Structure 1
Amino acid sequence: MSIRVACLCGNVAIELGGEPVARANCHCSSCRDFYGVTVFSATAWEASSVQMASFDARSFSHPHKQLKKTFCATCGEVVFGTNRLCMRVVPNAMLARAGCGWLDVAMAPTMHLYYRQRVVEVRDELP
């Protein structure tokens, strides 16, 4: 499988190859703080499965944790993050945009991570 996703303005695009390693809704305080969200819904990919297709991107490393985010220099949208395991973490909002506004079932989250750290209740069937 190969998927091309791009930021909102289209200046930064990435190609995703193969299958994601994990598909999750993360509730950890690190993701909430670093990405500025209450729940970070994303897919994690091996670094070798994510190729930059255009290069108008910048990156920012967390000052204290092993986290980095790569974002568009024009619109500011995060294209992917890099976690402490060096996996590329792609926001599901970008995958949904590539799917005409819908997240393909093959990319849908299969679990919640760090739910005990949640700040919002999520009622669904996911573990």
Structure 2
Amino acid sequence: MTTTHKGTCFCGSVEIEVSGTPVGMGYCHCTSCRVWSAGPVNAFSLWKSGSVRITKGQDLVGEYAGVPNSKRQFCENCGGHIMTDHPEWGVTDVFAAAIPSLAFEPSVHVNYAETVLPMRDGLPKFKDFPAEIGGSGEQVAE
């Protein structure tokens, strides 16, 4: 049986559904994610693009692509952030906080060279991204 999780934007006008299991969960420390999320770090859950669907409010979903390979989607009604599509990688980042029933189990930090909030949790910390997705693969110390 496939696991399904439901989530919403801040006001509930846009509803999403993710199915299966995430291909990865972790923290992004890049300036783009920090500014977009208005926080010192962004908690992500990555899903195969076909595993994520908008089930309500598609007409209210706005999109902003401020950096290559990141199509950020938000509710035009409340401004609540929903997800970021990464078409080059074939995954969609659904903000972990937008899926309340998901047990968030981070396994990695990406773009840690840009951190403003050091996190000493023993997880691997990549300077940028793992080599498998086009990064340097270089890790940095906590």
Shared topology, TM-score over 0.5? Answer: yes
Please name the residue that 1:22 is paired with.
24
| C-alpha separation in 1, matches of 2:14 and 2:51 | 16
Q: Would you say how many aligned residue pairs link Structure 1 and Structure 2?
A: 119
- SS in structure 2 of the partner of residue 20 of structure 1: coil
- Which structure is richer in relative contact order (CA contacts within 8 A, separation 6 or more)? 1
RMSD: 1.7
Q: 1:6-65 deviations in whole A, cap 9, x for unaligned? A: 112110011101111110101123322444432111101111000110112111122x52
TM-score by length of 1: 0.83
Match of 1:78 among 77, 81, 99: 81
Match of 2:110 among 107, 110, 113: 113
Deviates more, 1:13-22 or 1:28-37: 28-37
Match of 2:61 among 57, 66, 70: 57
| C-alpha separation in 2, matches of 1:29 and 1:58 | 21
| C-alpha separation in 2, matches of 1:121 and 1:113 | 12
Deviates more, 1:31-40 or 1:12-21: 31-40
Gaps of 5+ in 1: none
Percent identity for Structure 1 against Structure 2: 29
Letter in 1 for 2:68: K
